Chain A
């Protein structure tokens, strides 16, 4: 049941260091807070869209080049939103890591 070399963690952290552990914990907390809030925002947008389409049937009369607005929103509109969310999250996560690096070096 052995994994190939490299699957076992090489000991990156040396002796237990309370200060270092504190920094790691606050990094994990800030990354989790970031990920959860982005995920929540995205979910609210998706569920809101689903509810809007379910509760406002007249929206089907709005058409662009014969295509109803709901089809445009679900078939095209959601994708740029996802890509923008991904890019912004990636920047923010990298910023959190840069801040950690700065603090941990001191």
Chain B
């Protein structure tokens, strides 16, 4: 790729992000502004912001990369990413907004009472947030390496620095504007190059699918996942979205329950629209980027396809546009995660002051950066899938049972979350530590969601049955608050 153009595109995205954030500074003064933008964000803004925040390196680069590697099985990833919002709409959106909580630990405390459940939830939110930032930084390292030959720490460091400055300067309000802008930037930065690529292929009479040969099985290195793997993956993606802290924090910025639902419907639409683009790039990559899997850089498919098909100045310009969109995705997801993790840390350790939020922000930027620098990069879609399995086995049961089941107790919630975290964490770590396990054990450990989610639910229900709940009256009050319409 053309180095000067690539660096210019990255600089432009970083500058635009910082500029919008600093403009938000003027209107963000109180603690409320910092945390939830004073709850005045309209559904369209909010839905664009959720889309912008959610479409991470795994969506922007990883989906196309996985299609090149694994072929048809990879199409389940974007389906799962989108259907997660359908589950969020069905079970969580309106009640969570009505709970009036700022963060997941707030929700746990309002619903169940007690410090233990609040602390456990807070710790899990921080772990999930940090783990989810790491693949974003790996994506940034890969992109800057491909574009300018820079060593890995440059891309990761750049993203974390911009995020830290953005979040410190404006908090949540400016983040909402930044995220909404970045959804549309990501969409355009894939759509425009795709149109030009298809026009060029049409004009020169080359079939974009190699007369259908692009749809054959994947290269042997990344063959499909099998039936168990596919089902486990779908479960993890469907239910993991329910527990993602940077997604949930967005729901508190809706004015009321019905608008939280409307926002979620819009998000399903925005995601459906977006995923058509990386899928198309993945199919093109199966003809025009077949050498990437062997080099271990399949995730760079989206970045390299425009240049390879168009060539010349047009290829360089459009390649730089895609790179800008990729950086928007690293920046938006990381900043959303930093905001939500910093919110939880500052409430837990610094009594929720603005100064505490700033200290917590610096902390939530440095820890994942350190983790990213010491860990090796995987296929992006795969490592994000592991985080989904972890949230689905810990925070998702708390939300679902907390909202819909009167019998949940605080001891039961803690027991279920701890069991899910240990089971899923151990499985994923052993899969990473022993890659040569025999087939059944390998699948069970590398795709643990299908057994760790039911386990976490079962322990949560069992332990709740064995312990005493709060008084009936308190539960009645909370359930009325979660489920009755506002006016």
Contacts and interface: CB of A to CB of B under 8 A. Distances in A.
Interface stretch (B13-21, B86-94, B166-174): B86-94
A75 B279 contact: yes
Contact of B100 (A6, A13, A38, A70): A6
Interface stretch (B75-83, B182-190, B306-314, B370-378): B75-83
Contacts of B76: 74
B347 to A, nearest CB: 6
B272 A9 contact: no
B478 A6 contact: no
B454 interface: no
Query: Taking chain B's interface residues, is the majority helix, strand, or loop, or is none over half, making it mixed?
Result: helix
A25 B482 CA distance: 11
Given A13-B476, A16-B476, A75-B279, A86 B268 contact: yes
A106 B352 CA distance: 42
A93 B86 contact: no
B250 interface: no
A46 B186 CA distance: 28
Given A6-B32, A79-B272, A100-B485, A63 B261 contact: no
Interface residues of B, number: 64
A90 B83 CA distance: 15
Given A66-B209, A67-B215, A71-B215, A93 B110 contact: no
Nearest to B262: A90
A4 B262 contact: no
A76 B75 CA distance: 10
A49 B102 CA distance: 39
A82 B272 contact: yes
B115 interface: yes
B339 interface: no
Query: Taking chain A's interface residues, is the majority helix, strand, or loop, or is none over half, making it mixed?
Result: helix
B483 A90 contact: no
Interface residues of A, number: 59
Given A4-B347, A74-B76, A75-B75, A83 B32 contact: no
Nearest to B39: A6
A86 B89 contact: yes
Given A2-B351, A2-B352, A70 B72 contact: yes
Contacts of B483: 24, 27-28, 31
Nearest to B95: A31
Contact of B72 (A2, A20, A74): A74
B115 A74 contact: no
A28 B479 contact: yes
A90 B485 contact: no
Interface in B457-487: 473, 476-481, 483-485, 487
Given A87-B265, A101-B485, A80 B89 contact: no
B102 A13 contact: no
Given A3-B347, A82-B272, A66 B481 contact: no
B32 A82 contact: no
B72 A9 contact: no
Contacts of B479: 24-25, 28
B211 interface: yes
Interface string B95-113: 0000111110010011000
B460 to A, nearest CB: 17
Contact of A35 (B90, B103, B207): B90
A93 B283 CA distance: 38
Contact of B212 (A32, A68, A93, A94): A68
B120 interface: no
Nearest to B485: A97
A6 B106 CA distance: 10
A66 B207 contact: yes
Contacts of B390: none
Contacts of B404: 28, 32
A74 B75 contact: yes
A39 interface: yes
Given A9-B110, A53-B72, A101-B487, 20 more contacts: A2-B351, A3-B102, A4-B31, A7-B106, A9-B99, A9-B477, A13-B477, A24-B476, A24-B484, A27-B483, A39-B86, A74-B72, A74-B79, A75-B75, A86-B85, A86-B89, A86-B264, A86-B269, A89-B90, A97-B485
10 contacts: A4-B347, A9-B478, A42-B83, A50-B231, A60-B215, A82-B272, A86-B89, A86-B268, A90-B262, A97-B258
